[in-house]
Amino acid sequence: MCGFVGFTNQVGDDGKIIGAMMDAIRHRGPDAEGKYVDADIALGHRRLSIIDVSEQGNQPLYSADGKLVLVFNGEIYNYRELRAELQETGCIFRTNTDSEVLLHGYAVWGEQLLNRLRGMFAFVIWDREQKTLFGARDFFGIKPLYYAKMGETLLFGSEIKAFLQHPHFRKELNTAALEEYLTFQYSAMEETFFKGVFRLQPAHYFTYKDGKLDIRRYWDVHFQPDDKPSLEDWVQEISAAFRDSVEAHKIADVEVGSFLSSGVDSSYAAAAAQVDKTFTVGFGEDERYNEIGWAKGFSKAIGKQNFSKVITPEEYWDSLGKIQYHMDEPLADPSAVALYFVCGLAAEQVKVVLSGEGADEIFGGYNVYSEPDSTFYDKLPRGLRRSIGKLAGRLPAKRGVNFFIRKGKDVEERFIGNACMFTPEERKALLKITTDAPLPQELTAKYYSRVQGMDDVTKMQYLDLHMWMAGDILLKADKMSMAHSLELRVPFLDKQVMAAAERIPTKYRVTRKERTDEHTPYVTKYAMRLAAKQDTPQETAKTAAKKKLGFPVPIRVWLKEDAYYNIVRSYFESEAANAFFRTEQLVKLLDAHRTGKADNSRKIWTVFMFLKWYEVYFAAAPKMTTA
């Protein structure tokens, strides 16, 4: 696990500039550094040593003939198999790294290398003879890759903050991204919060030659339900695929640990991996916000040691600026802070951890997936439901009315992902500025168009796999772990596991309770839960039925307390807030929450996190370069 940066075209003192860019991402790789500079390009790399920890693994890495230069972030779990295959073609390896497989593989197979890989990755390869730059990002978007064209210069790298060190970089806020963020709670567009800076999408690669950038997709998820196998067959296939993935994800020359919450995903990973150490954080003693007691009991039952930490409110709030700095773009997911602390806890003991991200998206785990076809009302004719929904839309919003409004819309109209903070109407009313931001449905349309004719659950999963998971879940996983120089691996997000998951019939992904027996009353992630129950020690198998808390954070409670209410209010009445928002509306949201008139905590947090981020990157110069 590492980080890299680079830019094309000489600007004078290129070595010093690439050095400053590397320093900005030192937290991604404190073990070693290296750079390559010629008349056309500058490349910089920071290394966190995981596989082949000797100096042989340092980057940039060069092909034997010196023609190709590589900088790489991630892990290739099938590198040994690919290495053997490449050796049969005559390739001679000089290191034991997975990185060298990318160099030889690109030389032999070109972009076809990508579909042979199993792992998480972002990398670029510079061809010194052809003057061509090739870059790629992994299948799910586990590792980040950003790029920006500033005049004749192409900037690229693992984190945007490094771009700020380049003299050609123009720092300008993308206000359209702000408006979309108010709805999604994360940066949902391909163009980031920094105008002109884009993220390479998951499962895409680019070539850059003679000033022209060509971007193409090389892989996609294809849900093709297979009704032939029985439920038991699917349970066995999931079990085999996941255990194989876990073994692959444990490949390292350093110790591997595991995060552990009370949910089935991390519990399954920890039990299957048989690592020696697990890590858990929580808040206070209230079990609604604290999974530590459960995690210690689970760890003891499987014979492992659990390390835990109770995060105080003061620690949580004091960390917010640093977290938004490491995130690069504002993220309003409150659990990102808990993730930051559990990564810090783990980094004291290990260099690599396993985590449960991705299981909900690929196996159908979110509660909202049980909504389609879940009531008698769904059996009514579509036209009737739409008419009733339109009538309900004229009434004051409240729970019962909202049900009819929601049920009166097709999934493409109503579902934009697992978070929906402000409606387009609400965000327009809140913003003082005018932007050209598209409607949320315009962003989701291209994903829904690829799954036309599929059932609603599959459509929702496909959308979440491409937007919510990449934009929120995996963003915070990468940035919070790398803030502590910790490698986070996600064994559910494996090509082989996905190959099994995309064939599971919907009824085995999301199942109504009456379809199950009395001992397994699950609705979501049904087949996967059965696999976890089968593969988890008997005394701990009840985790398969336990409702996941998911790093619960008591911000709803904190925002009613004077100390934290006053902190947020000071931001809502600040000069920065006044530049973008109608501040009187912000204060109304805050006061209504404090008095109990409405639970506005998530909306408040969304705006507050933007203002914290803006303070770091625009209102003041970012100086935080360490965890």
pTM given for the model: 0.92
Model confidence over 209-250: pLDDT tens digits?
A: 999 999 999 999 999 999 999 999 999 999 999 999 999 999
529, pLDDT greater than 80: yes
> C-alpha distances in angstroms, 321 versus 71, 326, 614?
30, 9, 10
| DSSP letter (8 states) at residue 439 | P
How confident is residue 401, by pLDDT bands cut at 50, 70 and 90? low
Note the pLDDT of residue 288. 57
Q: How far apart are CA 127 and CA 132, in angstroms?
A: 5
Q: How far apart are CA 18 and CA 7, in angstroms?
A: 8
| 65-94 burial: b if 16+ Cβ within 10 Å, else e | eeebbbbbbbbbbbbeebbebbeeeebeee
Q: Kind and range of the H or E element at 534?
A: helix 526-535
Active site residue 343: no
- What average pLDDT does the segment 67-90 reach? 96
- Which range is most confident: 286-300, 526-540, 561-575? 561-575
Taking each helix axis as running N to C, give the angle between helix 526-535 and helix 231-249, from 0 to 180 degrees, rounded to the nearest 10: 60
| pLDDT above 90 coverage of the chain, percent | 75
256 and 275 Cβ atoms separated by less than 8 Å: yes
Tell me the pLDDT of the chain averaged across its residues.
90
How confident is residue 254, by pLDDT bands cut at 50, 70 and 90? confident
- What average pLDDT does the segment 127-142 reach? 97
Number of H helices, E strands in the chain: 27, 17
Catalytic residue among 2, 91, 343, 420: 2
Which domains does the chain carry?
2-217 (3.60.20.10), 232-365+467-545 (3.40.50.620), 371-417 (no CATH), 555-619 (no CATH)
Question: 227, 199, 222, 204: which is closest to 214 by C-alpha?
Answer: 204
